Structure 1
Amino acid sequence: MNLRSSWTAETGQTREDTRLTQTGATTPLNTVQVRSGILPGSYDGRYRLSGLWMDKASAMTATVHEGRAVIQGSISQGAYPVTLPASQEVTFAAGDAQYSRVDLVVARIYDNLYDSSNRNEAKIEVVQGVPGQAPQAPAAPPLSLPLWEVTVPAGASAGNGGIPWGTALKDLRTPTVSLGGINPVEGPTQRGTYPGQYQDTPNGELQRWDGGQWVSYPAGVGGIVPANVPLEQGGYVGQYRDGTSGQFQRWNGTAWKPAFPGPYFNGTYDEGWTTSTTFTTALTDTLSTPLGVDFVAPPSGAVLITYGARMYAPAPTPPALAMSLRLTQAGTTKIEAGDEGSVVYTGATPASMSTVTRFYGMVPGLTYTVTALFKVGSNTSQIKGYFDNTFVMVQHHN
């Protein structure tokens, strides 16, 4: 039975034709036209798109199964609803003697008012491709809906095995739904046509068109965008996502940044010493001097800094050893090192000492540097103060 359509034939349209083709599927393509495609659904509800499915019938023949579709013409032509109420076989020509080719199976409308074909009907057709070393599918004819590509090998015929149907088919079908419906995406993702339009992706993500891109639905209601959803640009400042590297990220209006940056850390196991009685960044016998770390000030303008070292002064009466911090921004000192809040130890036996301090009043978003400084207390005998396993760690704080 031929493909059935309505409002195509000049005469002879039956009530049955009209009933079969009232699809109601008009997903907008623009203000006048609609998106061509196949109505989704299956008999048992297991599949998104089973209409106009195609499979092997014989060596060179395939069966196109029943289904309904909409084929959009030019603006003046309007949209043509079509229905294949029963399966139909299509036959492919024998393969070329030397090269393979790619044929195209389409649902096609003939409308003599527009194409001068002297025909007014709908057909399932095979458009034969051109054989070649790297064959390509032919262009779809005007007013047609591509359904399948079929690769026909060189020499294929009914007598020598025919078309290898398990590998020869490429599904080109795409679904379309009624206005306001959620389109189940199959094949290439098409751009949306109005903000507020929804689609269901093949991996089960519900997405909303925001006027420029498809945004995963959880993002639109304050949810966390999952890592498997590609979202190069956030939808709003403050949106969160699970980054592909496993890092929790926040959209700041221009880029995805770590939602909770840090901790920023620098440390060394390389021991160094000083005899300076004033705070200095330089330690002798270590390559890790000065020891510092850069960080970006958080929205609160406050950070917690943990710092310390394994310290000792090998002397009968060891002086006090101290470690402090200096805070700078773009080379300007904001907080100078001092005794208050410093890590202090007095002893000839090595001991690990550390403390935590809070720096605040920084400008959010600016990069600051915190640097470790060291000194030895009263030191007329030039006693060496040793600092090992030295570290500085910066964490954001409210």
Structure 2
Amino acid sequence: MTVRAGWLLPEGQTREDTRLAPIGTMAPEGTLTTRDGVIAGGAGLAATGISAMQVQISTGRAVVQGTSVQGSYPVTVTAPVTLTVPDGHAQHPRIDVVILRVYDTLYETTQQDAVQLEIISGTPAASPTAPSTPSAGLKLWEIAVPAGTSAGTGGISWATALTDRRRYTSAYGGIIPRGYSLSFSGYYAGQYRDNGTELERWSGSAWEPVVKPIKWNPLPLPAGLTSPGHSPTQYAIHNGRVWLRGEVLHTTGGSIANGTTILNFPGAVPLPVWLHLPVGVGTIGNGWPVAALTGRTSMTLNLFQGAVAPWSIYLNGVSWAP
């Protein structure tokens, strides 16, 4: 057999069937249901147009979920399968779907225990939609079938007709690979997925980046001080720490009055943070060439006599725990 399912046939499952089928505890969707989908690796269950009205589905493995009582079926396709698309409607386009479907006589009226790749034709319409996927079916591809399409009229333009609808699954605790859609919830706090560019973790209510981006906020400066456009003074609260970056500039006009506040922090600094002034400019706050800012919410500057513009203070890399 080309398309096989584990734990479907009442008798006759071979040892080879068992080895090829993806058996094991897969990513859950509920207490008794499994996230169905393709097992990633290579180009599993890829679609290729091979003639005017025929599409070929490549080898691959998947998990197909039935009802919660029915359970899930591990499925493998061991050789490429060719499917024929019915001719197009005379007037309207339609969307067909390629699915991997399990038939089980214990749960439906069909008189067969089988698993197969098949095409379900959609309803022709001016603005067609894809047909729904039946229970114990896994959608793989959509095929846009224009009105009047047939082998005699040149057939389907496969380069534009195929839309990938494969979603992926993984073993329990594994990272779910990116599929055609990210519009699904996680099913337990601590579950991971790859969104195509970075890892995300399900918090219990939302997908959140594993490495959270830094959100920088402006750090205003008092009159007489500026920061260059390429290095503005900013702060961020990230991974349990407060970070500063940017450059404080004093470029014009004599000096700044002693005791001038030059930075206002977003909260009291609980740990020592050291900021360096250029040699010959002055001291920061407590009279030292560098400032220990423990417990402070701002930084003041005392200039040496004759210390005039230009000078600058660099904040890049300074941080403290909030």
TM-score relative to the length of structure 2: 0.69
SS in 1 for 2:289: strand
| 1:252 Cα deviation from its structure 2 partner | 4.4
Q: Which residue of 2 aligns with 1:251?
A: 238
CA change 1:25–1:101 in 2 (3 A) is farther
Letter in 1 for 2:295: V
Is the CA contact (8 Å cut-off) linking 1:26 and 1:179 kept in structure 2?
yes
Task: Give unpaired runs (5+ residues) of structure 2.
Answer: 216-233
Tell me: CA distance 1:36–1:231, structure 2 relative to 1, closer, same or farther (3 Å): farther
Aligned amino acid, residue 23 of structure 1: P
1:393 alignment counterpart: 313
Q: Structure 1 residues 306 and 86, CA, compared in 2 at 3 Å: closer, same or farther?
A: closer
Q: Which amino acid aligns with 2:238?
A: W
Quote the Cα distance in structure 1 between the aligned partners of 2:189 and 2:69.
Answer: 26
Q: Work out which of the residue numbers 288, 293, 300 in structure 2 matches 1:370.
A: 300
Preserved CA contact (<8 Å) 1:208 1:215: yes
Q: Does 1:65 align with 2:58?
A: yes
Q: Which moved more, 1:145-154 or 1:14-23?
A: 14-23
Letter in 1 for 2:167: T
CA distance in structure 1 between the partners assigned to 2:185 and 2:20 by the alignment? 27
- Measured in 1, the distance between the counterparts of 2:181 and 2:115 equals 25
Alpha-carbon distance between aligned partners in 2 of 1:199 and 1:361, rounded to the nearest angstrom: 41
- The reply on whether 1:306 has 2:277 as its aligned counterpart is yes
In the TM superposition, what whole-angstrom CA distance separates every residue of 1:229-281 from its partner, at most 9, and x where no partner exists?
A: x6589xxxxxxxxxxxxx9976244xx85x44444x14242x469xxxxx968
What's the TM-score, normalizing by structure 1? Answer: 0.58
Q: Partner of 2:289 in structure 1?
A: 357
Specify which of 90, 95, 99 is matched with residue 106 of structure 1: 99
CA distance in 2, matches of 1:232, 1:372: 32
Give the conservation status (yes or no) of the 8 Å contact 2:90–2:148.
Answer: yes
Q: Give aligned pairs, total.
A: 296
Structure-2 residue corresponding to 1:238: none
Counterpart of 2:167? Answer: 174
Identity among equivalent positions (%) equals 32
- Report how far residue 87 of structure 1 moved: 2.5
CA drift at 1:14: 5.4
Q: Which residue of 2 aligns with 1:35?
A: 35
Matched with 1:116 is: 109
Q: Partner residue of 1:144?
A: 137
* Pair 1:56-2:49 in alignment: yes
Query: Is the alpha carbon distance of 1:81 and 1:304 closer, same or farther for their aligned partners in structure 2, counting shifts above 3 Å?
Result: closer
1:227-376 aligned at under 5 Å gives the runs 231=213, 251-253=238-240, 257=242, 259-263=243-247, 265-269=248-252, 271=253, 293-296=262-265, 298-304=269-275, 306=277, 357-360=289-292, 362-363=294-295, 366=297, 368=298, 370=300
Question: Which structure has the greater CA radius of gyration?
Answer: 1
CA separation in 2, counterparts of 1:93 and 1:123? 18
CA deviation profile, 1:101-137 (whole Å, cap 9, x unmatched): 2211101122343333455432322122234444332
Question: Does the 8 Å CA contact 1:266/1:293 hold for their aligned counterparts?
Answer: no
SS in 1 for 2:160: helix
2:149 is the alignment partner of 1:156: yes
> Cα distance, 1:157 vs. partner?
1.5
1:109 and 1:150 mapped to 2: Cα distance?
A: 21
Contact 2:244-2:319 within 8 A present in 1 as well = no
Counterpart CA distance in 2 for 1:115 and 1:198 is: 35
Quote the offset at 1:390 in angstroms.
Answer: 5.3
Q: Describe the shift of the 1:114–1:250 C-alpha distance in structure 2 as closer, same or farther (beyond 3 A).
A: same
What amino acid sits opposite 1:251 in the alignment? Answer: H
Specify every segment of 5 or more residues in structure 1 that has no aligned partner in the other structure, as ranges: 42-46, 217-224, 234-246, 274-278, 282-289, 310-322, 328-334, 336-340, 342-355, 377-386
The code of the aligned residue for 2:23 comes to G
Q: 1:21 to 1:13 in 2, by over 3 A?
A: farther
Aligned partners of 1:196, 1:26: CA distance in 2, in Å? 17
**C-alpha distance 153-306 of structure 1, shift in aligned 2 (>3 A):** same
